[in-house]
Structure 1
Amino acid sequence: MDLPTKPMMKVGYDSFEIMATLGTGTFGRVRLVKHKENNNYYALKILKKCEIVRLQQLHHIKCEVEILSKIDHPFIVNFLGSFQDEKRLYLVLEYVPGGELFSYLRRQGKLTDEAARYYTSQLVLAIAYLHGLHIIYRDLKPENLLITQDGSIKITDFGFAKRVEDKTWTLCGTPEYLAPEIIQSKGHGKSVDWWAIGVLIYEMLAGSPPFYDENPFGIYQKILTGKVEYPKYIDSKAKDLIKKLLTHDRTKRLGCLRNGAEDVKKHKYFANVDWNTVISKGDTPPYLPPIQGPGDHTNFDQYPESTEDTAIALTGDDKAAFDAFNLFYRGGGHHRHPRLFNLTFRLFKPGRFTSSSYEMGASPSTKLLREAHDVIKHNKSHLDLSARDITLVPPTFVAYLYGSNLTELRLTNNGIAQLPASFGRLYSLERLAIDRNQLTELPFSLNKLVHLRDFDASHNQLSHLLPTFCELKSLERLWLHHNKLETLPEEFGRLVHLKAVYVQNNALTALPFSIVVLPKMETLDASDNKLTMLPEEWDTAFELTTLRLTRNMIKTLPSGLGNAKKLQTLYVQSNRLVDFPRSFLALGNIQNLSLSSNRIDEFPATVLAGMTNIRVLTYIQNKLQGIDATLFSLTKLVYLDLSENAMPELPSSDAESPYTWASLTNLVEVHIANNKLTRLPPGLETLPAVRFLNLSSNALMEIPGCMGTLDHLETLWLQGNQLKTMPTEMSHWTKLTALLLDRNAIESLPASITTLTQLTSMSVDRKTFALLEPNVLTFCAALPTFDIFGLET
């Protein structure tokens, strides 16, 4: 079967605005980018050509791009194109804002039977689709399944995918998910994906994979032995399905028989599954990820920013080898609703163990000593041992480097379960990265690293820190996110030079009181923990500028937090807040404030008036009954989102007040969707700079003609109201590119709509479509995207 080819169009690096780093990997990093023309967000995977060549991965990258560019499935991430410059290769991918299934599974511990069935049914269809194209995926794991905004999943990371007619022999994948035929080098095909689905179902239901050990080779032994212990709470139908998928004899494995995927779909575990409903995403998802708006990446890990300046230009044959990556961009072919163009995205990052073909020959200890010898011989200050399948760091490695000039050591993404007790003898270290390993504790001697400034121990299994850790008095930046920490030492206040702390995705129930007196602290991220309260007293000399407390269980914010007068960014969405301290009126430097997904029914006017520098205000999904006209005094406001509240009206401009809607001269984007608005307030039409206005899912009866004065408007969402017509003055919206009018009661559209020459996207109801005048219909039909809501295809 030939792979279908999709249409492509050109795009370049200058087409995007770089926003943030979303992930890092062996060859480079993934950055969140915003397209300068359509304002959509994408993931730009930036790969260093020199690293691709050095690690002999060019063929794998070519295969990945070729496969991704020719597949299209609702449960597989979309690849949008590639381009290159002298030093780098760029892959443009969709942005999936909901994060990894792995992160959700870790937070939950394990999933319900219904949730596991929901994700598995989607996965079965995706794998069956790939197999129909003779593509085997070979890297299935929760880290490679991303959760979309609507709660479904998408497979990502096709680095090990391969088109195979019969068998292949490459040893690749993630150890916990490898089928026995891969380990035994017997040659493998589609059967390995069905085995991996069995492992995944078990991990979702039990909370851990069926075969686990501290190092990959221990895992291989358990896989080959084939013994699986099932917790008693796993349903008998699920247990039967897992057993049939984890059958050692691949000729008898479910999914590998004559009927292929149909045998899996007919298993009694899926007895109540309507596969047509699955493919159309008609089932209710078990989880909807919290997303605060376009470009929100809080469901993913935070990474230090850097430049790509370390890349080296290629010459000769190495340079010519990249000629196959011609500049192209996938476009056309799909008239999707503009709201769905938040798209999806996949991270380019390794899993719990390195996915690779394993180097044979010298022992890991010998290889480490060779690396150490090279450091001494060439007087190197940096040593990167990331993704080397290192499971043990011998004391001899530390002894060899003792007295060297080594200032930076990276042991990222190995299988290290323990560091030697003598590790603290590497006195010269200033930057240490031991993230993405299997560490359960840090060595006692670590406090001897007196010059250490940056320390990354994220993505391990740490359950505690020793008090002696707090003797690292030169420490400036600390990454401990994605561990199992339940507490931080009360001695934390001794880290007097600490500027940034990332402890998100742990199990913290409280922060040490001493953390609020750190004199140089600028950034604290304690999101995704179990915090119920914060320290009450906050030092007035606190340098804190960024505080993230998203997805905890905090009911009240301490009034003492008002002393953090330099605070610029405060995220406390998805907690249990019922009010907002009036002491926060002192936070005059606050620029970004998110209080979404709480239980707040009032925003004190006095507090609002004090936040004169605020630029971004997000107040989604609370119980807000209304907002005071004090809002108009926030003259620096750029982005406002008050969606999903209970507001029946908005404040009106008062001629006697010094502040009106017209005072919001910097306000560019406004979202007031899903409220109870029946009319628009006088003065709203005077907003001088608004370009994006979302008033969807209210109860609006009309759009006044005076709204035509919003001549900067580019996007207008009005779907889900009770509108019967649109004003003829809409002809003044000369910059409008997107107009959503579906789910209203519009009987006609004025002829003036045909003057909107910049309009590219529009939606209406089926009934409205049937009533359009011929000239209006001709205009709409010529738009690049014209969606008719409710029209059967």
Structure 2
Amino acid sequence: MGAATSEAEPPPEPLQGAESSWVRSWKNLLAGIGGTVARLERSWATRRRLRPPPPHPGEKLPRPGEKAVPEWPLPQFVSLFLPEFPIRPPAGQQQLKILGLVAKGSFGTVLKVLDCRREKVFAVKVVPKVEVLRRDTLKQCKEEVSIQRQISHPFVHCLGDSWQGQRHLFIMCTYCGTGDLYALWASLGHLEETTIRLFAAELALALGYLHDLGIVHRDVKMENILLDERGHLKLTDFGLSRQLGRGQRARTICGTLQYMAPEVLSGGPYSHAADWWSLGVLLFTLAAGQFPVPPERDHLAMLASVNRCSYESPGSVSRKLCLLLSELLCRNPLRRLHHLHHVESHLFFRGVSFDAELLQKQPVELVVAARRAEEAALGPSPAFADFDCDLLPSPSHPCPG
């Protein structure tokens, strides 16, 4: 008998036509899944390309109701000014109506506008982007807005809003319709000491507040001090301001020659004490009716004149005010009066409360009377067209800027 053997049994033959149908159904199913995955991948890739980049640190998110920017990435001419100047669609500014022109200079235009939604009047500073880049002042322009966003004080002109159009930057602040301190001084020649004492206290509070935040203004002058409807002061124009940390010093020669401290005219280093020198020049001019040093052609000639000047106050000025001026107009910044608590305890301010609410309690009759006389002489101001977010010229109403 032979040995038993085991052979592999062949697989059963499939039924005719069954194998091809089964294989085709699986192939169709897998092909369908593959097509769906491919379509999803294409969709995700498209969404990734269209999705805007994440905001930079510190960048403000769009406000509710604002239109999204249609194109990403942004043009460089727009993104350069972010995030301090957010993008506003033109339609979003149709609630602003131009009421008049406040001032126009080589660097920009200030407009008086009405916010129709809030029924409040504002001043809008309009700066062409081309000028910012041409003058290489982009960093300073952004710092101006960053500084003003930190500020909230009764005697400081605070920021309302800021945004950008295609060709302009817009900085909006509350409107002060009484004009500036320079116009008041020019019309009167000089001020009485009671008014000087009030204005000096208000400005000292404003400077003390800014310096506590590390901010040096660098352009304290009569033209940069606005008067509100009750005659009280608002320090404005932070275009030259700078934030200085503890122990930091600046070296940039900037400001208005007649108000610049000797350490600024010489190229530094200097700090917040320079603002108190400017306050001294301002108070001297209000009391004497003329600047202590006439303007010169450049900072070197001005420095020489400042070093030669004796800063003697006129005989009509009281002894207490003379003492204050001599302590503010001290050439050595370390010996200069440059702290608010030293100012508060000065003889000139005896009996004055350095409380903003108390100082504002009574209107400044001198200023209010001057405003009424000016309004009667000028009459109503002409109206302008609706506010155009980017100041596009119109044939019927050409807008300034």
Q: TM-score when scaled to structure 2?
A: 0.68
- Structure 1 pair 300–171 and aligned structure 2 pair: CA distance change class (3 A): farther
In structure 2, how many angstroms separate the alpha carbons of the residues matched to 1:299 and 1:108?
A: 21
The answer to whether residue 320 in structure 2 is matched with residue 237 in structure 1 is yes
Whichever structure has more helix as a proportion of its residues is: 2
User: Could you say if the C-alpha distance between residues 66 and 249 of structure 1 is closer, same or farther in structure 2, counting changes exceeding 3 Å?
Assistant: same
8 Å contact kept, 1:109–1:207:
yes
- 1:52 pairs with 2:135: no
Query: 2:352 aligned with 1:270, yes or no?
Result: no
Matched, 1:88 2:168: yes
Amino acid corresponding to residue 98 of structure 1 in structure 2: T
**Partner SS state of residue 287, structure 1:** helix
Question: Are the equivalent residues in 2 in contact too, given 1:97–1:296 (CA < 8 A)?
Answer: no
Q: Which residue does the alignment assign to 2:311?
A: 228
Specify the SS of the correspondent of 1:263: helix
How far apart, CA to CA, are the structure 2 residues paired with 1:278 and 1:262? 18
Deviation (angstroms), 1:245: 0.7
State how 1:494-509 maps to structure 2 within 5 Å. none
Q: Deviations over 1:613-672 (max 9, x none)?
A: xxxxxxxxxxxxxxxxxxxxxxxxxxxxxxxxxxxxxxxxxxxxxxxxxxxxxxxxxxxx
- Picking from 108, 130, 139, the partner of 1:28 is 108
SS of 2:323 mapped into structure 1: helix
Secondary structure of 2:132 counterpart: helix
Which runs of 5 or more structure 2 residues have no equivalent in the other structure? 1-59, 67-87, 394-400
Does 2:285 align with 1:203?
yes
- What does residue range 317-716 of structure 1 map to in structure 2 within 5 Å? none
3-state DSSP class of the match of 1:140? coil
Q: Distance in 2 between matches of 1:126 and 1:88?
A: 30
Match of 1:168 among 230, 250, 258: 250
Q: Would the aligned equivalents of 1:137 and 1:160 in 2 still touch at CA under 8 Å?
A: yes
Match 1:140 to one of 210, 217, 220: 220
**Structure 2 match to 1:247:** 330
How far apart are residue 150 of structure 1 and its match? 1.1
Matched, 1:158 2:241: no
Contact preservation (8 Å) 2:230, 2:363: no
1:182 to 264, 270, 273: 264
Residue 273 of structure 2 is matched in structure 1 by 191
User: What is the alpha-carbon root mean square deviation over aligned residues?
Assistant: 3.1
Say which SS state the counterpart of residue 199 (structure 1) adopts.
helix
Q: Does 1:287 align with 2:372?
A: no
Counterpart-to-counterpart distance in 2, 1:262 and 1:116? 19
Match of 2:186 in 1: 106
Between the two proteins, the alignment pairs up a number of residues equal to 299
Give 2:133's aligned amino acid. V
1:219 aligns to 2:302 (yes or no): yes
What's the CA shift for 1:99? 0.5
Distance 2:257 2:380 in 1: 24
SS of 1:46's equivalent?
strand
Whole-Å separation in 2 of the counterparts to 1:109 and 1:87? 42
- Give the TM-score normalised by the residue count of structure 1: 0.36
| CA distance, structure 2, for counterparts of residue 144 and residue 301 of structure 1 | 23
> How many angstroms does 1:90 deviate by?
1.1
Q: Against the structure 1 CA distance between its residues 157 and 58, is the aligned structure 2 distance closer, same or farther, given a 3 Å change threshold?
A: same
Distance in 2 separating the partners of 1:286 and 1:203: 21
- Identify unmatched segments of 5+ residues in structure 1: 1-5, 311-348, 350-793
Q: Secondary structure at the match of 2:355?
A: helix
CA contact (8 A) 2:202 2:359 kept: no
Flag the structure with larger Rg: 2
User: Is the 1:191–1:253 contact (alpha carbons within 8 Å) kept by the matching residues of 2?
Assistant: yes
CA distances 1:479-504 after superposition (whole Å, capped 9, x unpaired): xxxxxxxxxxxxxxxxxxxxxxxxxx
Deviates further, 68-77 or 215-224: 215-224
Give the distance between the partners of 1:31 and 1:277, measured in 2 at CA: 29
Shift in alpha-carbon separation, 1:299–1:54, aligned structure 2, 3 A: farther
> Identity over the aligned pairs, expressed in percent?
27
Shift of 1:289: 3.1
Q: Letter of the aligned partner of 1:276 in structure 2?
A: D
The residue identity in structure 2 corresponding to 1:273 is: V
Q: Give the SS at the match of 1:143.
A: helix
Q: Is the 8 A contact 2:198 2:359 kept in 1?
A: no
Distance 2:305 2:223 in 1: 22
Matched, 1:116 2:196: yes
Aligned 8 A contact 1:99 1:299 in 2: no
On the 8 A contact 2:101/2:112 being kept in 1, the answer is yes
Q: Does structure 2 conserve the Cα–Cα contact (< 8 Å) formed by 1:60 and 1:160?
A: yes
